[in-house]
Structure 1
Amino acid sequence: MVIEHAELTIVPGREAAFEKAFTLGHQAIAKAPGYQWARLVRQVEKPSTYLLLVGWETIEAHTVEFRKSDLFRQWRGAVAEHFAGPPSVTHYENSWETGLPT
């Protein structure tokens, strides 16, 4: 499994609208081949900054299959208007895990 780590900076004052749009955008991500799970968390110190974690079967499932698909365009169409700048995206491999809260 590969974990997509995306830092999203939202235009200040548009956080609630972004969260609503994210719900729609997530529907597109969830249909992608190789998608496993997603978690969106909001930063306490900078409430306009979010961390999006997405579990993918492989890095190619995200960087090739999803990004070149209509589902990616649906995702971006739902949320991009709320971005203050381009997301910063990196990928990680799961090395260790304990029981995570749901």
Structure 2
Amino acid sequence: MVTEIAIIDVKPGEEAAFASAYRDTGHDLLATTPGCVSAAMHQSNETPTRFVGVNEWESTEAHLDNFRGTDRYARYGAALRPYLAGAPLVEHFDDIMHC
């Protein structure tokens, strides 16, 4: 399993609209993708314009092939991109210890 972390900054004043777009469209596009184990979005208490997506995938390939390489990714971007302040920072992480 691999964890995808996406650090997302949205335009000031667009926090509620971004959260709504994620709830209405983004989450289902991720969560129903083959190979997606879990999908969550968190909003910072200290920096309300910062969100962090934490998604678990069966493998990096499952994410890249089943989501990024499909029309799901285009639809996800179309729903959320209008609210972004810049490109998200996205990386994949392997679990070295889980409790």
TM-score over 0.5 for the alignment?
yes
The whole-number CA distance in structure 2 between the counterparts of 1:49 and 1:69 is 26
| Identical pairs, percent | 34
Q: Which residue of 1 aligns with 2:34?
A: 33
Q: Which residue of 2 aligns with 1:89?
A: 90
What CA deviation, in whole Å up to 9, does each residue of 1:31-80 have, x standing for no partner? 21110101211112211001110000000111233111011111111111
| TM-score, structure 2 normalization | 0.92
| TM-score, structure 1 normalization | 0.90
RMSD, aligned CA:
1.1
SS at the partner of 1:85? coil
The whole-number CA distance in structure 1 between the counterparts of 2:64 and 2:17 is 27
SS at the partner of 2:69? coil
List gaps (5 residues or longer) in structure 1.
Answer: none
Comparing 48-57 with 21-30, greater Cα deviation is found at 21-30
List gaps (5 residues or longer) in structure 2.
Answer: none
The whole-number CA distance in structure 2 between the counterparts of 1:62 and 1:12 is 29
